[in-house]
Amino acid sequence: MTSAVEALFRPQLRSALTRPSRGSVALHQLMWSATFAAFFITATAYSRQKHFAQVAVKSSYEARSLVRSEIAQFLPDLRSIQVRFSLLQPTNDTDGLFGTQLPFLKNSLCWSEKNLASALIGNQLFGYAPEYVVYTDNHTHNYATEVFHGFPSHRYHLVNLDMDPKDMMRMAPFNKSEFDDRNLASVRRTLADCDHLDPHKGRLLLGTDVKFLQRPLEFIEAASQLHEKQAVYMVDRFWQGQTADGQPVSKVKYRMNTTGPQCPGLLGDFVYLSPGLELTVKKLQEKMTWYMNQPRVLERTIPPCSASCLASNGLHAIDQFALVMALGEAVRPMGKGCYSLDTERYSHWYPRTPKTQVTHDKTMDTCEMVQPVEMDAASSEQNEDSKLKMLFAALVLLFTAMVSLLCAFTESEEKGSKELQAFDDWKDMCSS
């Protein structure tokens, strides 16, 4: 009788036991949701980690912009800085290239990595090591490549201006024969800045004779306090000799002998432009042309320029003097949004003082190259965060998979009373 009843109701009993309860369905849905979430976290974290791992072998602006935009989701206020150098040799002067230009570029780069990069990374607003943009030509490009051999590829970009179709258009208003090599290169680099530097980033325009002998904390503090469309720069000191204690006689910031807003005393080899500040090729060409058309005398500046201004057919430092006027009009407020650095700590020419932190002169100060920064501190932190997310997501996936397998196992067809009882226990657990 018992066997007959059991045989009669066994199909219904099996169906009832194997039919998932509402609690079991809810649990399964929860586990599948957790699985999907864990998979999404893992994929996202892996994608971010992959970008950080690959950034060292990508040199395009697109790759760097992608990484920066991802970091910006977590660190929206951090700023990056482009540091611009140039290695241009219009007349293929190999002796000058190897005797002066290359050694100065290496020396300036060394001091920049040693003191500027570390100071930027430690700053709360910047936090990034600088990205170098170096202008080259057909004669110097391969040599510049050798200078950056072993350097993280995402931290520098070489621009061969001989391969830039816009270069001829930028230089079209000027007769190259009027400039010596040095001033021709200076005009060329200044005009190229308008097309090759990112106006949404901070840009530090440097000559290769600038050395960061100490961490430039005052400069970084000044740069961090600038509003958009403002600038800070070193002062080009005009003087006639020295005082007894070795200080320049005149600390007056020169101005151009004309009206209109200006950035007085500006030195063209150390200028920082805050994000949003744009200079146009047209405006710079206009100011350079104005200077070329002036009588080539020392009184083009107030106080009068030193005799060196008569070099290069009377057009020495034309790029600098054009910047004084063009930048004065571009900053906000006009003529007042550009600020000068302390002339002792940021010293143009001689003499240096014990306070000197950054210098612009022709002394080749010995510098031992440090290991270039592979990533900025913020990138490394985000990379570690991605690894932790991947580990956590993997543990969630493993736990979810184990519970799913155990619950699925109990839904198999029982093969005896003991197995049926075990199934009931698991069913209760999976439904709870």
Residue 116 contacts residue 139 (beta carbons within 8 Å): no
What does pLDDT average to over the chain? 80
CA angle 97, 102, 103 (to 5 degrees): 120
Residue 65's pLDDT band, with cuts at 50, 70 and 90, is very low
**389 or 429: which carries more pLDDT confidence?**
389
Nearest residue to 212 (alpha-carbon basis) of 130, 128, 117, 121: 117
* 218 and 113 belong to one structural domain: yes
216-274: pLDDT as tens digits: 999 999 999 999 999 999 999 875 555 555 555 456 899 999 999 999 999 999 999 99
pLDDT at residue 53, rounded to an integer: 40
* 174 and 43 belong to one structural domain: no
Q: Could you report how far apart the first and last alpha carbons of the chain are, in Å?
A: 35
In a domain, 26, yes or no: no
C-alpha span between 406 and 402 (Å, rounded): 6
Mean pLDDT of the region 45-50: 49
Domain boundary among 364, 394, 417: 364
Mean pLDDT of the region 83-105: 95
Mean pLDDT of the region 153-161: 97
* 403 and 264 belong to one structural domain: no
* 141 and 52 belong to one structural domain: no
The two beta strands, 202-206 and 266-273, are antiparallel
Least confident span in 106-115, 275-284, 369-378:
369-378
The two beta strands, 202-206 and 156-160, are unpaired
* 159 and 255 belong to one structural domain: yes
pLDDT at residue 373, rounded to an integer: 72
In a domain, 4, yes or no: no
* 180 and 308 belong to one structural domain: yes
Segments of 247-384 assigned E as strands = 255-256, 266-273, 301-302, 338-340, 346-348, 358-360
* 358 and 388 belong to one structural domain: no
Domain boundary among 319, 334, 364: 364
* 283 and 358 belong to one structural domain: yes
96-123: pLDDT as tens digits: 999 999 999 999 999 999 999 999 999 9
Residue 219 contacts residue 231 (beta carbons within 8 Å): no
List, in order, residues 6 or more apart from 331 with CB less than 8 Å away: 229, 230, 231, 261, 263, 277, 337, 338
Mean pLDDT of the region 36-47: 55
Least confident span in 18-22, 114-118, 413-417:
413-417
159-187: pLDDT as tens digits: 999 999 999 999 999 988 899 999 999 99
The CATH number assigned to the domain holding 304 equals 3.90.550
In a domain, 3, yes or no: no
In a domain, 9, yes or no: no
Residue 126 contacts residue 79 (beta carbons within 8 Å): yes
Q: Structural domain tally of the chain?
A: 2
Residue 372's pLDDT band, with cuts at 50, 70 and 90, is confident
* 381 and 282 belong to one structural domain: no
Q: Give 162-170 contacts, CB < 8 A, sequence gap 24+.
A: 162/137, 162/138, 163/138, 164/192, 164/195, 164/196, 166/195, 167/192, 170/194, 170/195, 170/281, 170/285
pLDDT at residue 24, rounded to an integer: 55
Q: Does residue 82 surpass a pLDDT of 90?
A: yes
Q: Does residue 68 surpass a pLDDT of 50?
A: no
pLDDT at residue 50, rounded to an integer: 45
* 65 and 191 belong to one structural domain: no
Burial class of 430 by CB neighbour count within 10 A (0 to 12, 13 to 18, 19+): buried
* 186 and 39 belong to one structural domain: no
Residue 272 contacts residue 232 (beta carbons within 8 Å): yes
Full-model pTM: 0.72
Domain boundary among 318, 340, 364: 364
pLDDT at residue 59, rounded to an integer: 34
The H-assigned helical ranges of 267-372 are 281-292, 311-314, 318-330
Q: Which structural domain, as residue segments, surrounds residue 222?
A: 77-364
Rg (CA), the chain: 33
* 236 and 352 belong to one structural domain: yes
**373 or 305: which carries more pLDDT confidence?**
305
pLDDT at residue 293, rounded to an integer: 96
339-366: pLDDT as tens digits: 999 999 999 988 888 999 999 999 999 9
